[in-house]
Amino acid sequence: MTADQVLAECRELVALPIGAAAERWKAQHPEGRVVASYPVWAPVEVIHAAGMLPLAFLGGGTSVELTHADARFQSFVCSIAKSSLELGFQGLCKGVDGFVFSNICDVARNLSSIYQRNFGDVLVEYLHLPQNSTSPAVAAYMAAEIKRLAARFEDAWDLRVTPTALAESIETFNTLRTGIRALYALRIAEPQKLSTVELYTALRALTMAPPEDGIAWVNALLEAIPRRAARPRDRLRVVIEGTFCEQPPLGLLEVLEEAGCYVVEDDLMLGWRWFTSDVTADGDPFERLGAAYVDQAQPSSTRHEGREHRSTGLLEKVRRARAGAVIFMPAKFCEPALFDYVLMKQGLEKAGVPHLLVEFEEKMWTFERTRNEIETFVESMLFD
Ligand code: SF4
C-alpha cells in the first residue's frame, strides 16, 4: 500500500462513529465483543488478550449535537465528557459492549458513574490508576488493578485473559508502539515529509481497528514517507502540549501548520502510545504491564511525577525534538491541563522557551482569530 492509500483508508475510518467501527469488526467476528477506553491510558493488551477489540472512546468531536447530555452535567465541563455521553444517548455506541474509565480527573470519574446509571445494558469498569508513582508498592498495585479488570471480563462474559494470551498481546502492541515511535522520530527528523494532520489521522485510525491492521498501516507509512520529495521550509518547530484527553478538531491542527509551524512533538492520542519503550519480555505479564505503566510512561498532566517539577517532561520533549517553542493547547475546562499550564509556563520561562496558549473545544469550527494569533507568534519568532 502507498502512503496515500493508507491515509485514505485511515481518513475513512476516522469519519465513522465508534459504534460503526465496532460493527465493522463484528461483521467479521459475529461472536466478538468490543471494549472502548476513555482517555488517557487504555489497557488495550488486556482487552485484546481476552479476544476482544479495543477501541478508543474519544467523544463525538464535531459529529454530534448535544441534545441530552447537557442536562446531566454542569455547564463548566469539558466537551469530550458531554459528547461521549451524547453518543450513548443517540445510539452511536451500539456495538460497543463495554467501557473502561479511570481516575484521570473528577469529570472522568463522574462520567463513569453517569454512564453506568444511564446505560445499564453495557459493562462499565472504572480503573483506579495509581497516583503516587514514587511508592515501591505502586507497580504491584497496578498489576493487581489490571488483573481485576481481566477478572471482570471473565465474570461478565466468560472471556479469560491467560498469561500466555496477555504475553502475546503485549508483544503485538509493543510492535505497534515501536512503529508509532518510529513515525514520531521521522517527523522530528523531517517534519516536511509527514504533516501532523496525517500523523494524527493515522494514529486515530489505529484506535478504531485491530492492532494487526494498525501494524500493517504503520509499516507501510514507514516505508513510503521517507521517500517523499519535500523540501524543508522556514517554519517554527513547536511542541503541542495539553491534548492528552479531549482531541482538538482537525481544522485547528491544519491551521497550526498553515500558520507556519512544524509540530515536532505532541501529546495527541497519548494513551495509545503511553509506554516510552517496549514492555519487557520476561516474567509475569500482568506484573510487566503494571511496572511499565509506572516506570515507562510518557509525561502527562493526569499523573503525578513525584518530586519533579511539572515542566521537566515538557522541557525534555522540547530538547529532544529540537523545538523552538511550545503551543499550549488545553481543552476548555480541562482542569489537569489548565492547572499544569501555570507550572509548565513557569518552567519554560525559566528555561527561555517561548510559548503560546490556544484553548479549544472539540466542536470548534471557526479558526480565523486563532490563525492570526499563531501567525503573529510565529512571525515574532522567525523574524526577530
Ligand atoms: S478533557 Fe480534561 S477535564 Fe475533560 S475528561 Fe479529559 S482530562 Fe478530564
Q: Tens of pLDDT along 313-339?
A: 999 999 999 999 999 999 999 999 999
Q: pLDDT at residue 249 above 70?
A: yes
pLDDT for residue 69: 83
Q: Cα of 192 to ligand 1 centre, how many Å? A: 31
Predicted confidence (pLDDT) per residue in 194-246, tens digit: 999 999 999 999 999 999 999 999 999 999 999 999 999 999 999 999 999 99
Judge whether 101 and 115 are in contact, CB under 8 Å: yes
At residue 84, the pLDDT reads 96
Shortest-distance Cα residue to atom 8 of ligand 1: 105
pLDDT at 310: 84
The best mutation among 75, 107, 126, 301 to test binding of ligand 1, ranked by most ligand atoms within 8 Å of the C-beta, falls on 107
**Cα 40 to ligand 1 centroid, rounded to whole Å:** 9
This prediction has a pTM of 0.95
Q: Which pLDDT does position 305 carry in this prediction?
A: 65
Please, what is the average pLDDT of the chain? 94
Predicted confidence (pLDDT) at residue 365 exceeds the cutoff of 90: no
Instruction: Kindly give the distance from the C-alpha atom of residue 38 to the centroid of ligand 1, in angstroms, as a whole number.
Output: 10
Residues framing ligand 1 (Cβ under 6 A): 78, 80-81, 104-105, 107-108, 245-246, 331, 334-337
Residue 260 vs residues 190, 237, 253, 293: alpha-carbon distances, Å: 15, 9, 11, 36
Least confident of 13-22, 55-64, 240-249: 55-64
What is the predicted pLDDT for the residue at 348?
97
Average pLDDT over residues 86-112: 95
| Residue bearing the bigger pLDDT, 81 or 62 | 81
141-176 pLDDT tens trace: 999 999 999 999 999 999 999 999 999 999 999 999
CA of 60 to the centre of ligand 1 (A): 14
Residue 379 has pLDDT above 90, yes or no: yes
Burial class (CB in 10 A: 0-12, 13-18, 19+), 20: middle
- pLDDT tens-digit map of 19-57: 999 999 999 999 999 999 999 998 999 999 999 999 999
> Which residue blocks in the chain are alpha helix, DSSP H?
3-14, 18-28, 44-49, 79-89, 106-118, 138-157, 163-189, 196-206, 211-224, 250-258, 285-295, 312-320, 335-351, 368-382
- pLDDT at 63 (0 to 100): 82
The full set of domains in the chain, from first to last, is 16-162 (3.40.50.11890)
Average of per-residue pLDDT across 298-315: 81
Give residue 306's pLDDT: 66
HSE at residue 173, side-chain half, CA atoms within 13 A, is 29
Q: How many other C-beta atoms can be found within 10 angstroms of the C-beta atom of residue 248?
A: 25
pLDDT band at 308, cuts 50/70/90?
confident
Which helix or strand (DSSP H or E) is residue 34 part of? strand 34-37
